[in-house]
Structure 1
Amino acid sequence: MIQRDEIFLAVSGSARQASTNTALLNAIADAAPSGCRVEVYDRLAGLPVFCPDAEADPLPAPVADFVARVERCDGLIISSPEYVRALPGGLKNAIDWLVSRDEIVFKPVVLVHASHRGNDMLEQLRLVLSTVTRNFHPELFLRFDLMKRTPREIGEVLAEPEKRRAVEDFLQAFARFCKACRTEVSER
Structure 2
Amino acid sequence: MIKIGILEGSLRRASLSRAVARAATGLVPEGMQAVALPNPGSLPLFNQDILDEGMPDPAAAMIAAVEDLDAILIVTPEYNWSIPGGLKNAIDWLSRVNPNPLARKPAAIWSVSPGLLGGARVHESLRQTLHCQEVIIMAKPEVQVAGAKGKVDVEAGQITNAETETFLRGHLVAFEAFCQSWRRA
TM-score (norm 1): 0.83
2:138 aligned counterpart, secondary structure:
strand
SS of aligned partner of 2:44: coil
- Coordinate RMSD, CA, aligned: 2.3
Q: Within 2, Cα distance between the matches of 1:142 and 1:50?
A: 29
Q: Does 1:157 align with 2:155?
A: no
Q: How does 1:97-116 map to 2 (within 5 A)?
A: 97-101=93-97, 102-115=100-113, 116=116
The size of the alignment, in residue pairs, is: 178
Unaligned runs of 5+ in 2: none
Q: Which residue of 2 aligns with 1:39?
A: 35
Distance in 2 (alpha carbons) for counterparts of 1:48 and 1:122: 24
Residue identity opposite 2:181 in structure 1: A
| Counterpart code for 1:113 | S
Secondary structure, aligned partner of 1:139: coil
State the Cα distance separating 1:95 from its structure 2 match. Answer: 0.6
Q: Return the TM-score normalized by structure 2.
A: 0.84
- CA–CA distance in 2 between the matches of 1:11 and 1:32? 15
Deviations 1:144-173 (A, max 9, x none): 224335415762425x2x433322221122
CA pair 56-126 structure 1, distance change in 2 beyond 3 A: same
Alignment check: 8 A CA contact 1:21 1:80 kept = yes
Aligned pairs for 1:84-163 within 5 A: 84-101=80-97, 102-115=100-113, 116-117=116-117, 118-149=119-150, 150-152=153-155, 155-158=158-161, 160=162, 162-163=163-164
Report % sequence identity: 29
Tell me the residue number matched to 1:167. 168
Name whichever of 32-41 and 74-83 sits farther off.
Answer: 32-41
Q: What residue number does 1:61 align with? A: 57
Between structures 1 and 2, the one with greater helix share: 1
